[in-house]
Amino acid sequence: MKLFLHSKKFWFWLLLIFLIFIFHFIGLLRPLESVLLRATSPINQYFHRLSTNIYDRGSDFDSLDEANGELARLKGQLARATVNEAQMELLVEENTKLRQQLDFVSNNDYSTLSANIVSRQNLFNGTDRVQDIILDKGVADGVIPGLGVVDEQGIIIGKIVESKDYSARACLTVAPACNLAVGILNSDRTLGLSDGDLGLTIKLDYVPQLENINQGDIVITSGLGDNIPRGLVVGRVTQVNKQSNEIWQDVSIESLASIYNLTVVSVIIP
Amino acid sequence: MFKIVTQSVFLFFLALLLVILQFSFISSTPYPWYNFNLLLLVLILAFLVSPKEQVFFLALAMGYLVDIFSFQAFGAATLSMFFSALIIYVVLENILTNRSLYSFIILAMLGILTDRLFYHLFVFIFDWSGNNSAFFLWQGFFWESLAWSLFFGLILLILSFHLIVILNKKLKPFFLSKG
């Protein structure tokens, strides 16, 4: 029986692996690794976009009637939003003047950094049905763990959990253990910690029964997290599970972003 | 010497291309499609057409590149690729020596199984941060994901094998008869 283990070549390959490990951990291979990551970034972006376009989830509707119903609902919502926007502009103007008079610093005092998604950590994370995203910006660009990630509309979609020199990994708000400090825009201004649920929705657990939460309430970041500013839209309340014999009520939130079709995001630099 | 260097450079760039395809293209597809392990399929097929030294180099290069690109513990992919290649080679040289399709189906199953087991075992060992909430063998999704990897891997292997049979007369898509 020919066993490779008895040959000198086996020990040569093991020695090679050992040397790769040593050179990697003392940083000798770092320039090569950085060059590889940066040089291949455009190709990675291309393949990620190609894959996203091919597997675009497409329409969410099963029938034309369902689509027409949704269209009518959205038209109504648009009309109400337009009215709200007009009123909001007046309030913003008034608020700006008052802030200037009081010499306040604006709450939205942060900048953003655009980043391309180059991959989704799937096969290499085969113990969870979660698609963490890999960005082409890293520590060298100021991207550090804890920073918020938003889509092109400014809706928060996740946060940075790990970063290397030229790349970073972000968890999505719908992924389990991706927690965000959030607040609900209801009459009680409920605060809580959001958590992803099965990669599909966001849940808010352990909310006291006395809090008055309604379907459709908007959920925003509370600003109580380390590096994520207040006021970024997280999603909308879709379900409130309130049972009289329970101490807590469970809240389900739907993200307003198309999380699985993203190719470009922005990282919020406080 | 020049030939060895050029071959190594070629294999490294081939590994880079394959890792990019796996990392950016296949990984970005929705569930269950992203479970297709292109790297391992190429590794198994490489034993059909290339000398073992080149296949081991390819395995090391692919493992190292996966370690650079991914955010899992460094070394897990390098070691799992190497040990999977080693097991495939030992079985191919000692047990399943007839180069038939059936041999390669068993080899593919063995390769995918050992690669996934080794990879998650090394991640579990190397991950000092304690991010692993539960041991991977007790998680249902690990086995589900492994089953999809085997399914996609075997389908692609059968197709690729028949393609190679057309181009290479040394291989037979059936067991050799004794008579």
For residue A200, what is the domain's CATH number?
A: 2.40.10.340
Does B35 score more than 70 pLDDT? yes
The answer to whether the Cβ–Cβ distance between B35 and A24 falls below 8 Å is no
Whole-angstrom Cα distance, residue A94 to residue A32?
55
A193 in a structural domain: yes
Query: At residue A165, what are phi and psi to the nearest 5 degrees?
Result: -55, -50
Whole-angstrom Cα distance, residue A97 to residue B147?
62
Residues A130 and A251 in one domain: yes
Report percent pLDDT > 90 for chain A: 19
Alpha carbon A9 to chain centroid, angstroms: 47
A2 in a structural domain: no
Residues A208 and A237 in one domain: yes
Residues A116 and A212 in one domain: yes
A5 in a structural domain: no
pLDDT at B15: 94
Does B104 score more than 70 pLDDT? yes
Any idea which of A122-136, A165-179, B68-82, B110-124 has the lowest mean pLDDT?
A122-136
A3 in a structural domain: no
Span B70-92, average pLDDT: 89
Does B66 score more than 90 pLDDT? yes
| Tokens coding B156 | 């692609």
| Domains delineated in chain B | 2-167 (1.10.1760)
Residues A133 and A193 in one domain: yes
Structural domain boundaries, residue A242: 109-270
pLDDT at A85: 77
| Tokens coding A70 | 């949704």
Residues A85 and A156 in one domain: no
Average confidence score pLDDT of chain A: 83
pTM metric for this prediction: 0.80
The pLDDT-based confidence of A229 (bands split at 50, 70, 90) is confident
Does A105 score more than 90 pLDDT? no
Task: Note whether A133 contacts B: Cβ–Cβ < 8 A.
Answer: no
pLDDT at A18: 92
Closest CA to A133 of A265, A228, A42: A265
Task: Note whether A7 contacts B: Cβ–Cβ < 8 A.
Answer: no
- Domain edge (last residue) among A104, A134, A164: A104
The answer to whether the Cβ–Cβ distance between A55 and B30 falls below 8 Å is yes
Within 8 A of A16 by CB-CB distance, chain B residues are 60
The answer to whether the Cβ–Cβ distance between B146 and A47 falls below 8 Å is no
Any idea which of A108-112, A182-186, B37-41, B123-127 has the lowest mean pLDDT?
A108-112
The number of domains in chain A is: 3
Task: Note whether A55 contacts B: Cβ–Cβ < 8 A.
Answer: yes
| Tokens coding A117 | 């998604």
Query: Locate tokens 């970024």: which residue?
Result: A232
Considering only residues A130 and A22, tell me which one the structure prediction assigns the higher pLDDT. Answer: A22
Residues A71 and A200 in one domain: no
pLDDT at A269: 87
A98 in a structural domain: yes
| Tokens coding B119 | 């990879």
Within 8 A of A130 by CB-CB distance, chain B residues are none
A4 in a structural domain: no
Residues A225 and A266 in one domain: yes
Closest CA to A225 of A254, A192, A257: A192
Span A24-36, average pLDDT: 90
Q: Is A252 helix (H, G, I), strand (E, B) or coil?
A: strand
Burial of A44 (0-12, 13-18, 19+ CB in 10 A): buried
Whether the ipTM is more than 0.85: the answer is no
Residues A147 and A90 in one domain: no
DSSP 8-state secondary structure symbol assigned to residue B72: S
Burial annotation B162-179 (CB, 10 A radius, 16+ → b, else e): eebbeeeeebeeeeeeee
Residues A235 and A122 in one domain: yes
A1 in a structural domain: no
A270 and A110 in contact (C-beta within 8 Å)?
A: yes
pLDDT tens-digit readout, A129-170: 567 899 999 999 999 999 999 988 888 999 999 998 889 999
CB atoms within 10 A of CB B100: 17
Residues A129 and A260 in one domain: yes
Residues A250 and A130 in one domain: yes
The pLDDT-based confidence of A253 (bands split at 50, 70, 90) is very high
Query: Which amino acid would we find at residue A152?
Result: E
Chain B residue with CA closest to A168: the answer is B71
Residues A215 and A255 in one domain: yes
